Structure formats: C-alpha cells, structure tokens
A and B are shown apart, each in its own frame.
Chain A
Amino acid sequence: MNSGPAEESITVPPGDGGRSIDDLLRTVSASRLTTFHQCRLRFWYRYLSGIVKPKPAALHLGSSVHETLKFWNRARWHRRSPSLRDLHDAFSGAWFELLKADPVAFEDEDGEKQTGWKLLETYFRESPIPGDERPEAVEVAVEADLTAHGLPKLVGVLDLVRPGGRIVDFKTSGKTPDAEQVAHTTEGQTTGYALLYREATGHTESGIEIHTLVKTKAPKLIITATPPATDTQVTRLFRGIESYVKGLEREDFVPSPGLQCASCEHFNECRRWS
C-alpha cells in the first residue's frame, strides 16, 4: 500500500507539522480519529507529511470565539460577571494574540472579526448557561488509559463541564446543522469525551451538549443535547480506535474522495497522489 504522495513541493522538517507513526500510536485523540476515518490520506498530510498550511480564516475566527468563551467560563468560575465590553476586549485580545502566533491571509479581516463578535453576542444573549453558573471544569486536558483494552491512551480537552457532569463542546459552523446529523457525525468525539470524563472523575457524565454557533447572516445558536454515552457507542469508539491503530501500523493512507474534499486544505496535493 502506498504510504503517501509521490512528490511534495512544500515540506518542512518533521517536528512541527510532521510527527512520527510511533508518536501517533502512543496516544489517540478524537480529532485525529475523526480525520483518519474521514480520509486517511488527509490524515497523512496533516499529521505525518510535515506540510504546513496557512491557517484558514474560519479556523482563526473559531479559535478566537473559543478563547472568548473560555474567558467567560473562567470568569464565572471565579464568581466574576464580565460586562459585554470586557468580553469584547477578551475577543479582540484573543484575535490579536492568535494572529501574532499564527498569521492568516485574510480577504476581509474586519468582516471576519465582525462575524466572530456577532456570533458571541448571539451566544451571550441566547446561551442556556446562567451568568452565575459555576463550571465543574473549563478547557481541561484529560486522558483515559485504555491499555486494558489493548488500545493507546485516549487524550483530549473538554471545553466546559457544567455542574452535574454535563459536558459542553463549542463549535462554529457556516451552515445550520441538523440535530440528528450532528449527534451522528460527532459520536466518536462525544463518546471519547464521555470516557475521558469518567476516567478523570470516577463519575458518569449526565449528558453532552454541542453548542454550535452558526455564521448565518443573522447568527444562530443551535444546541444538540445527547444522553450519556451507551455501551454500544463505547464499543463503536473502541472499534474505531482499533482500526486507527491497525491502519497506522500498516501505513494505510489511501484517499477517500467525497463531499469533504471541497473543504480539504490538501486538495491539490491529493490530486497529484499516486
């Protein structure tokens, strides 16, 4: 089986964009798992090839929104009630700092920034989270030892855990998501979060919420709530991780052409793959 593209023109030394297969087998994360099962060649490009692509504007917007929500969540933890002005300052600060660390080639930076802030305004207006609700955890790095199942360690970061063990993941999207589709397409991720929470707390989560901030002309907040992960979902996740391990071990990185290619950053390289 071919293990990568025949030729590459834009490469950087491994260590930044490029990781080793051994390293990627030591642990597994929801995002790596999702990318691997979406398209193994995209996985190769993203994690193994050493190719570094400029950060897309949408990703920068999402990261800045994410940082602002983290600021808000942490403020509530410390019993502070930031004003809209404070939140706007936090958003502007995050936008600037992230841009400094990872430049983005914008077509319309002001427009993107405005969109990001409108999303946040909508979120703060419509969020089901009360302004005085203290979180259980914020942006917390956790891991679950799966060696008893013959699998690598699962690692991840939980955006927010609400009181009572309600796990929240924040997303930004250009399209209004369908609730059932979100539940299906994020199942690996949400089940992973559930396992991570259980391992790190000794308790079962009370549910999982995906808070999707939609970048429509009039921004929307769509919340998809799912119950605690079932045994069947955990088994499906384990099967997915098994497949990830076996695929990496035999260096199986074939492309999976499909609708997802429209937004793939490695479309051009993929066209040259053989």
Chain B
Amino acid sequence: MVKLIANYAKRLGLPGYSSHQFSVSVETELQNVTDVAGESARLYESLQKAVDDQMQQTGFVPPDGYGMKEGEHRNGTPGERQQNGDAGISDKQLDLINRIVRENNANKSEIENIAVEMFGGGVRTLNRMQASNFIDELFAKYPRRNGSGNGNGRGNYQRQAART
C-alpha cells in the first residue's frame, strides 16, 4: 500500500494586527501509483477549498481600542503584555510599524508573517528589542520611495539613527 499524506495550512492577517490560521491534513491510500501528480493536485485543490471555506469565518476580531483602559499602555492584549512585562513593544515602535505599513500599502498578513518567521510570534507579542530589529527588517524591505532622506533607505519615516 502506498500512502499519500497532504497538509494545507493558511494564515491570514486581520485588522489590528490580529490573525487567524487553519490547517487540514489528510492521509490517503494512493489508488494509482503512476498518477502521484494528478492525485496530489486533486488533494491540494480539495484541501485548499476546505481551508478557504472555513477561513471566511473570522470569528471575533478585536475592535480599535480593544483591551485598552484609560492610561493603559496600548500594545498587545493583556496576556501579551504580561508575557513581556514592561518590556513589550512601545507605542512609538507600533506607530512606526503602522506608518511603514500604511505608506507602503503593505500586506498586514505578510508583515505579521515576517514577525512570526523572525521571532516566533506576531507583532503585538514582540518585546522592545525584537521590535527594534523588526523595524530594521521593515526598513530593509521597504526602502524610501522618493529623493528625500539621507540615502540610507529609511526615507520619510526615518528612525533616529542609533547615535551613541
């Protein structure tokens, strides 16, 4: 017996740096060993449709200001803030990231995926050190778009250069 194991996973960004992900796996017996490519294509199509159908249900999406009280640090959910103590991503860092995303019409889920790839967690879960490196990464990915700036690729949203 020859088995074909397939997995399809998708992660999509949602407003406010939320995201949701879903994956479906199947293990099936290959009926015709000479048609692995065809069988695989059919499985892919079927799994993708299953995942896409489910992912149209976004469930709860946090509205603006979710988790914020008067005077409260606004980044991250309470749980995420607890994870980093007082060292969670700062408002200033979050504003800069949002600005880069906005000015470059960047795909938020792609931005979120970069954070996950680099740090194993979404933007809101980053600590300040990770956020600093994440911003460096965004500056590298989205160089300035006009002639202004000082030529180091940080353009209009130029962060204060590390001057020690």
Tell which of B84, B86, B130, B163 touches A137, judged by Cβ atoms closer than 8 Å: B130
**Interchain Cβ contacts under 8 Å between A and B, 26 examples:** A30-B164, A31-B164, A32-B164, A138-B133, A139-B136, A140-B129, A140-B132, A140-B133, A141-B162, A142-B132, A155-B162, A155-B163, A155-B164, A158-B129, A161-B129, A197-B129, A200-B87, A200-B127, A200-B128, A201-B84, A201-B87, A201-B128, A202-B86, A202-B88, A202-B127, A203-B87
Closest residue of chain B to A23, judged by CB?
Answer: B163
Does A199 reach chain B (CB closer than 8 Å)?
A: yes
Q: Any chain A CB within 8 A of the CB of B118?
A: yes
**A197 and B129 alpha carbons, distance in the complex (Å):** 8
**How many A-B contacts if CB must be within 8 Å?**
50
Pairwise interchain contact A141-B128, C-beta atoms closer than 8 A: no
* Chain B interface extent, by class: 10 to 19
Chain B residues positioned under 8 Å from A203 (CB to CB): 87
Q: Which residue of B lies closest to A161 (CB)?
A: B129
Q: Verify B164–A29 contact, CB threshold 8 A.
A: yes
Q: Is the CB of B129 within 8 A of A157?
A: no
A141-B162, A200-B128, A201-B87 provided; 11 other pairs, C-beta below 8 A? A136-B129, A137-B129, A137-B133, A140-B136, A199-B87, A199-B128, A200-B132, A202-B84, A202-B85, A202-B127, A203-B87
Q: How far is the CA of A201 from the CA of B88 in the complex (A)?
A: 7
Q: Which positions 107-125 of chain A face chain B at CB distance < 8 Å?
A: none
Interface centre among A138, A141, A161 (most CB of B within 10 A): A141
Q: Which residues of B in the span 132-164 have a Cβ within 8 Å of any Cβ on A?
A: 132-133, 136, 162-164
CB distance from B150 to the nearest CB of A (A): 11
Q: What residues of A have a CB within 8 angstroms of the CB of B162 in the complex? A: 141, 155, 157
CB distance from A138 to the nearest CB of B (A): 6
Convert A179-201 into 0s and 1s, putting 1 for each residue whose CB lies closer than 8 angstroms to a CB of B: 00000000000000000010111
A196-215 vs B, CB cutoff 8 Å, 1 = contact: the mask equals 01011111000000000000
Q: Is the CB of A201 within 8 A of B127?
A: yes
Query: From DSSP, what is the main secondary structure of chain B's interface residues?
Result: helix
Question: At the interface, yes or no: A77 with Cβ under 8 Å from chain B?
Answer: yes
A156 within 8 A of B: yes
Which residues of chain A come closer than 8 Å to B132, judged between CB atoms?
A: 137, 140-142, 200
* B37-80 interface code vs A (CB 8 A; 1 in, 0 out): 00000000000000000000000000000000000000000000
Rounded to whole angstroms, the CA-CA distance of A136 and B88 in the bound complex is 15
Question: In chain B, residues 105-135, which have Cβ atoms closer than 8 Å to a Cβ of chain A?
Answer: 118, 127-130, 132-133
A155 CA to B162 CA, complexed, in Å: 8
Residues of A within 8 A of B129 (CB): 136-137, 140, 142, 158, 161, 197, 200-201
Residues in B with CB closer than 8 Å to A197 are: 129
B residues within 8 A CB of A77? 118
Contacts of B87 in A (CB 8 A): 199-203
Residues of B within 8 A of A155 (CB): 162-164
- Chain B residues near A161 (CB, 8 Å)? 129
